[in-house]
Amino acid sequence: MKLIGSAVSPYVRRIRLLLDEQNYEFVDLNIYAPEGREVLVSYSPAMKVPVLVDGQQTVYDSAVIHRYLAEKLKKKPLSWDQENLLSLINAVNDSFIILLMASRSNLDTESDVLLLNLQKERIAQTMPLLEQAVVEGLFSVWNYPAICLFCFLDWVCFRELIDLETYPGLSAFCAAKRADESVAVSGPERG
């Protein structure tokens, strides 16, 4: 198996952690450099990471890769509740990415623009729900949803996009996982 991605991507990192005990090759790309884009397009017409290549099978998107690996490795599928939590994590993660890309594109992210306002609104609505889910113990087992939550939280902290002190449950969850060397080794700061 070969995983194509970027070491700093939270979506790639979740698959790396999922593959932790598997034998695979990781192709780490700078997806914003011309060379990295050239390699990426050879694997994915959507030019998004991660991409998993397993023999003749190419799988795009972390959610589809998870499903593919769960079937291949005979893991229990996600419950509907887990899928719903994962959709919240993905939505808020995407909102932070959009805001980061807007900032890197020299857009004023504080301006009153519909696209940016929608991202901020989604973040404001979703973060308290994730905080409550952690407090209720919904991420107490280290499984794919917990991996996804951690990768998201660690990434937004690495990018300095949020101060988790506002969310003590999320902050404690993230700190506990960062302390685990098997998890920390894939951190965005090491990419």
* pLDDT tens-digit map of 91-131: 999 999 999 999 999 999 999 999 999 999 999 999 999 99
| Residue 191 banded pLDDT, cuts 50, 70, 90 | low
> Quick one: pLDDT at residue 123?
98
| Domains observed in the chain | 2-75 (3.40.30.10), 80-189 (1.20.1050)
Of 186, 190, 189, give the one whose Cα is nearest residue 177: 186
Tell me how crowded residue 16 is: count the other CB atoms within 10 A of its CB: 20
Q: Let me know: does 19 contact 1? Beta carbons within 8 Å.
A: yes
Q: Let me know: does 2 contact 53? Beta carbons within 8 Å.
A: yes
Percent helix, strand and coil across the chain, each rounded to 5? 60, 10, 30
Whether residue 145 is predicted with pLDDT greater than 90 in this model: the reply is: yes
**Which of these ranges, 64-73, 104-113, 114-123, 180-189, has the smallest mean pLDDT?**
180-189
User: Do you find a cis peptide bond into 50, omega within 30 degrees of 0?
Assistant: yes
Q: What is the overall mean pLDDT for the chain?
A: 96
> Quick one: pLDDT at residue 190?
66
> Quick one: pLDDT at residue 189?
80
Q: Region 16-35: what's the mean pLDDT? A: 94
pLDDT digits (tens, 9 = 90+) for 43-53: 999 999 999 99
**Structure-token match 């993660």, residue found:** 93
| CA 57 to centroid of chain Cα atoms | 22
DSSP symbol at 54: E
Query: Percentage of the chain surpassing pLDDT 70?
Result: 99
